[in-house]
Amino acid sequence: MSRPEGPHSNMTYLDHAATSWPKPAPVVDSVARALVELGGNPGRGAHALALSTSRAVFEARRTCSELLGVADSRSLLFQPSCTVACNVMLKGTLRRGDRVVVGSMEHNAVVRPLARLKAEGLKVEIVRADSAGLIDPADVERVVRSGPTRALICQHASNVTGTIQPLGDLADIAHENGAILLVDGAQAAGHLSVDIDSIRPDGYAASGHKGMLGPPGIGLLYLSPELEVAELIQGGTGGGSSASSEMPSHRPDRYEAGSGNTPGMTGLGAAAGLLAEKGDSFREHSSDLMRQLHEGVLDIAGFRVLGPPPEEPRVPLLSIVHKTIEPDRIAFLLDRDYSVAARAGLHCAAWAHESVGSLAGGAVRLSVGWTTQAKDVDRALCALREIVS
């Protein structure tokens, strides 16, 4: 796909880990259709327009559920973002006096809710990742078994190192020790072939606008049918009796108070349909580009790559640190002089940078996406060589 016309049409966009761009045509068309044709409020009326909108939202939820391997689509909830989904998952499940075990690579979407809960009496035990950002299941099992544990909390993939965590092993450890597994899948959904029923998490939060290629302002939250989670927001819903002052107990209505983001939901449904059809080819394409980028950076003197080596799997992002030039400076020059968009800093994940030894100045993160081409990677590598020469 060619880049859209506009002021940034000549940019080499390597910030897909922050948000995918440009959006696929089916997503754009679906968002536009929702704004133009689906003016009704889903679940809030019995007239034809409201019913058409409700049907479109139902189909979007079903398509997302099929993509992510969720057997019962009622357990897959639309949320305003992955961050909101993480807050619901954590604050709706954990209570004062509970003990949780969490990996050290977490994003602030997990770290900050945990900090608030810790101030209110939650006990938090941190398992340190290795230098590549990988959590060792043996370390996790040892800490989980050292005391009664309510939850094991872990990301699926790191937004700093690209490291993919061994969720199958972690699910076994959690469930064998009477704990639940809560997962931040922001960087995994879309980039990896996620099958919720196989992974067996009790909660799984996903971003809609990153690897899933959907619009901004929409996320997903899977909650196991057996898991009781308190809703964080109360208000109007499309189900239950409006005369009751209590939220409906059934899903998804209990967790979707207020008028929903219909363009976001249907746009994400369109993205999920596209990924169901072409996701494997997108992932193969991204993997090839990551290998090209990774090996190219290793050939430039002075750079250190965070995370696993080139031969090991990762989601399609690469964070790099130069021995003398600050990350902020490199990203600034990439943008100003070469029109290469990258992101520098701590990436809202100070724990992760501390774990891999880059907390002092952060790193420059380059992330490829579905429209990235080999020439884009070459352009970025050429720019990096000139900047550090």
Find out whether 266 and 57 touch, Cβ atoms under 8 Å: yes
* Cα angle for residues 267, 287, 383 (degrees, 5° grid): 95
Model pLDDT, residue 8: 62
Say what the pTM is: 0.95
Give yes or no for residue 241 having a pLDDT over 90: no
262-298 and 48-68 helices cross at what angle (nearest 10)?
30
Find out whether 98 and 149 touch, Cβ atoms under 8 Å: no
For the chain, give the percent of residues with pLDDT over 70. Answer: 97
Give yes or no for residue 1 having a pLDDT over 50: no
Range in 130-139, 188-197, 225-234, 316-325 the model is least confident about: 225-234
pLDDT digits (tens, 9 = 90+) for 29-79: 999 999 999 877 887 778 888 899 999 999 999 999 999 999 999 999 999
288, burial (CB in 10 Å: exposed 0-12, middle 13-18, buried 19+): middle
pLDDT digits (tens, 9 = 90+) for 7-30: 666 899 999 999 999 999 999 999
Both tokens of residue 272?
Answer: 């999920």
Model pLDDT, residue 283: 97
Helix spans in the chain (H): 25-36, 48-68, 82-91, 108-119, 137-145, 167-176, 196-199, 262-298, 327-338, 350-356, 374-388
C-alpha 350/C-alpha 346 separation (Å) is 6
pLDDT digits (tens, 9 = 90+) for 167-224: 999 999 999 999 999 999 999 999 999 999 999 999 999 999 999 999 999 999 999 9
What is the average pLDDT score of the chain? 95
